């Protein structure tokens, strides 16, 4: 029975080539869009889910209309005092960490200098239990 359906479909494809190609192209584009959307949704829903208390972790994002950088006007950069203010004004906040991303900072030591990327943080980051990291203890201070 399945063999007969395949034979009829093949004959219909050969008889109406342009109509069949349009249908197949539409199906391919639809499936490709579905797969891309599902991959995007999966990525967004899996963001920062490695932590055992992921439901209690939030990230403050600043919306700056008119300031579009790399295609977005939402930035995960706020003032450093925000972590202290959140903790002081909202009793639900148990820990607040301020991270600052430094891109291309000039590091000089004696007559040697080089550019380095880095992140600065406040001392509250030690109170949060992060995922396990592997490596030398001298690099984790």
Interval 29-88: pLDDT, tens: 999 999 999 999 998 888 777 777 777 777 777 787 877 776 777 777 777 788 888 888
* Residue 123 to residue 87: CA distance in whole angstroms: 14
What mean pLDDT, rounded, does the chain reach? 81
**Helices 17-45 and 2-15: crossing angle, nearest 10°?**
110
The confidence score (pLDDT) of residue 67 equals: 77
* Residue 38 to residue 35: CA distance in whole angstroms: 5
pLDDT at 92 over 80: yes
């Amino acid at each position: 029975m399945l063999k007969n359906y395949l034979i009829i479909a093949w004959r219909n494809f050969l008889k109406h080539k342009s109509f069949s190609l349009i249908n197949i192209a539409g199906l391919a584009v639809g499936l490709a869009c579905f797969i891309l959307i599902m991959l995007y949704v999966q990525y967004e829903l899996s963001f920062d889910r490695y932590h055992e208390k992921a439901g209690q972790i939030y990230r403050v994002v600043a919306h700056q209309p008119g300031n579009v950088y790399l295609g977005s006007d939402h930035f995960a950069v706020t003032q450093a005092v925000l972590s202290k203010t959140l903790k002081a004004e909202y009793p639900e906040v148990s820990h607040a960490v301020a991270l600052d991303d430094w891109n291309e900072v000039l590091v000089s030591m004696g007559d040697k200098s080089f550019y380095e990327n880095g992140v600065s943080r406040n001392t509250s980051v030690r109170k949060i239990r992060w995922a396990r990291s592997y490596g030398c203890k001298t690099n984790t201070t």
